Amino acid sequence: MIEKPRIRVKTFKIDGIDVTGRADQTVLDVAIENGIDIPRLCYMEGLKSIGACRLCLVEIEGQRGLISACTARISEGMSVLTKTDRLLKYRRQILELLFSERNHQCAVCVSNGHCELQNMAISVGLTHVDIAYLNPKLNIDASHRRFLNDPNRCILCNRCVRVCDEIEGAHTWDLLGRGVDTRVVTDLDEHWGISESCTGCGKCVHVCPTGALSEKGVSVAEMAKRRNFLPYLKSNRGIS
Amino acid sequence: MKTKLATLWLDGCSGCHMSFLDMDERLIELAQRIEVVSSPYVDFKYPDYFPDGIDVAIVEGSVSSEEDLHKIKLLRAKTKFLISLGDCAITGNVSGMRNLIEIPDMMDFVYNETADVNKGVMPTKVVPPLLKKVIPINQAVHVDLFIPGCPPPADAIYYALSELLNGNTPDMSKVTRFGK
């Protein structure tokens, strides 16, 4: 006889609204199910959440620190706040830091108009950046036959690393360096075009939120990404 | 009394000024309430570059040369409300892409490597001394309103000006964005 798994349901509040979720869900999962928008950039349905971008930070009443909603497990009776003045201020600052750390010239970017970073700026009302731009010198890797890696647009969300590892199983991408100097690299920081592990599947390109990874041959504003394959692949392979 | 408007063109392609003109017949309506006192559109000359008592100034382009820096400081001192118009003014944008190259390398690329005439002859006049880094206007002077876009749509400029003339604070993120 197959024993039915016991589903534990927990009830709590998000922004004063009563919500329920399964014990294994995160605050962000439950918020999305209930139509409560929490800004996010590194989160992607179908990939493991790592809390890298910090945009989904929320306050939990009674807890001193802020916590990323994409990694926070729900608990009975908790009260989550997603839109306090403190959070709005921090989210704005995080976006300003993301824009100032690399060279984001939206006007000449392949992802202009399809970019999650750009959309996030609109949603928090960001029309300028107060922090001085770092203008780092970063080389574009155009060695791959079909794809392009432009680190000038990268926000280190880690989606490419995760999709390549968790879904494609190749683990071509990884991170090199620390802090503001971190870069996503292929294999052992070799050119993408000579990578022996890359299968050329292109999933990394399509989960990338900005114009950092793109297909060759597209011009300004032409790089719309297709992402609906992810939950499908995930369920097909029995990955939880 | 009409509102005194100045516009200034720094390091940009003039696309933002073109977008201003794209307000078309609405320019006639604005002209009832606005007097353009200094701008590439008109031909007034002043001993100190700008007249005194400017109500609203619209600035296109980033601050890239010593001349740009001099002008923006002069304008700010004479202006009540200063608007950064377009991505170059706000982020550096395309003008700021030279920040990735050292100035001598860039000058060599432009006046030597890719030159068709006078190859290798560096300019000694007309081209003002460049700042080491291109900076957005808000890193040189205080800015009161930002209208992003490349160029910002004429509708966004019209919305901003009409809201300001009516004494309201425009919410620009509703009508335009970086790269629009």
- CATH code: domain of residue A171: 3.30.70.20
* Mean pLDDT of the B78-82 span: 98
Note whether A134 and A205 are same-domain residues. Answer: yes
Shared-domain flag, residues A125 and A227: yes
pLDDT of residue A239: 59
Residue A160 to residue B60: CA distance in whole angstroms: 37
pLDDT for the residue A233? 77
Residue B52 pLDDT greater than 80, yes or no: yes
User: Pick from B12, B69, B33, B74: which is nearest to B158 by CA?
Assistant: B33
Whether A136 is in a domain gets the answer: yes
Q: What is the ipTM of this complex?
A: 0.92
Are residue A63 and residue A120 in the same domain, yes or no?
A: no
Nearest CA in chain B to A126: B173
| Interchain proximity A105–B133, CB inside 8 Å | no
The domain spans of chain B are 3-99+130-174
Model confidence over B112-138: pLDDT tens digits? 999 999 999 999 888 899 999 999 999
Verify that A123 and A56 share a domain, yes or no. Answer: no
Q: How far is CA A24 from the centre of its chain?
A: 21
The residues, ordered by sequence, that sit 6+ positions from A237 with a Cβ below 8 Å of its Cβ are A167
Confidence of residue B44 (pLDDT cuts 50, 70, 90): confident
Query: Which residue from A107, A126, A130 is facing B179, i.e. has the nearest CB?
Result: A107
State whether the Cα torsion B131-B134-B135-B136 is positive or negative: positive
Own/partner long-range contacts of A195-201 (Cβ < 8 Å, ≥24 apart): A195/A144, A197/A170, A197/A171, A197/A172, A198/A144, A198/A170, A198/A172, A199/A168, A199/A170, A199/A172, A200/A144, A200/A145, A200/A146, A200/A147, A201/A168, A201/A170
CA distance A128 to A104: 13
Chain-wide mean pLDDT for chain A? 94
Same domain? For A210 and A113 the reply is yes
Determine, yes or no, domain membership for A154.
Answer: yes
pLDDT on residue B45 = 84
Q: Specify the number of domains making up chain A.
A: 2
Tokens of B155: 């509708």
Residue A1 lies in a domain: no
Confidence of residue B47 (pLDDT cuts 50, 70, 90): confident
Q: Which of residues 95-154 of B touch A (CB under 8 A)?
A: 96-97, 99-100, 133, 135-136, 138-139, 143, 146-148, 150
A119 with A230, same domain?
A: yes
A88 interfacial to chain B (CB closer than 8 Å): no
DSSP-derived pairing of the beta strands A147-149 and A213-215: antiparallel
Please determine, for residue A188, whether its predicted confidence score (pLDDT) is greater than 90: yes
pLDDT, tens digit (0-9, with 9 covering 90-100), for B136-172: 999 999 999 999 999 999 999 999 999 999 999 999 9
CATH of B3-99+130-174, one of 3.40.50.300, 3.40.50.2300, 3.40.50.700, 3.30.470.30: 3.40.50.700
Domain that holds residue A49: 9-83
Q: Which two tokens stand for residue B32?
A: 């009832």
Q: Mean pLDDT across the stretch B13-31? A: 97
Residue contact A133–B136, C-beta within 8 A = yes
Number of H helices and E strands in chain B, helices first, is 6, 7
Residue at A90 is within a domain = no
Are residues A68 and A125 located together in one domain of the fold?
no
Domain co-membership, A178 together with A229 = yes
* Predicted TM-score of the model (pTM): 0.93
Q: Which of B60, B85, B91 to mutate to test the interface with A (most CBs of A within 10 A)?
A: B91
Of B108 and A234, the structure prediction assigns the larger pLDDT to B108
- What percent of chain B has a predicted confidence (pLDDT) above 90? 92
Residues A44 and A112 in one domain: no
Based on C-alpha coordinates, what's the Rg of chain B? 17
Render pLDDT for A81-97 as a digit per residue (tens, 0 to 9).
999 999 999 999 999 99
